[in-house]
Structure 1
Amino acid sequence: MNSDATGEAMHALHGLKGLTTCRDDHTWSEVHNDLFGAVIAALLAMHYIEPTGGRAAFDEIFHRRTRRGREAAA
């Protein structure tokens, strides 16, 4: 995944939400652009890893990262 785009998106989001003392001016359009870039990079990477379809892997990882999945594992 393009960690640069992800990091930039989170930096801009935190700045817009007032969660940091970031002095840069950010826009919601910039946040959207960086987030979509990160998502596209991640989807392409998943396609290369699981060219026949990574749905099962996605479902398992998604479940594990949700509250319900963490509670079930505990």
Structure 2
Amino acid sequence: MSMLLALIGVLLLSGGLLLQSVLPKLGRMAFSIGGGSYNPSDYDLGVAFYMQQVIAISCIVVGSILSRRFCKTDGDH
């Protein structure tokens, strides 16, 4: 379970970073095809992105701590 929690955190973190870098590029391409103007602030993820980062990092930290604790107790037997 703890490894799964850490994996979920890593996936959330990488997905959020990917979206942060891809959304402005997709917006620029869409507006250039349509002939409109482009404003990068329209694609700012704002607070939601940072909340996702906090959740992802928390999952990674808790998963790592639980994995380490599980490995220690498993090695004692």
Q: TM-score, normalised by structure 2?
A: 0.47
Q: TM-score, normalised by structure 1?
A: 0.48
| Structure with bigger RCO (C-alpha 8 Å, 6+ apart) | 2
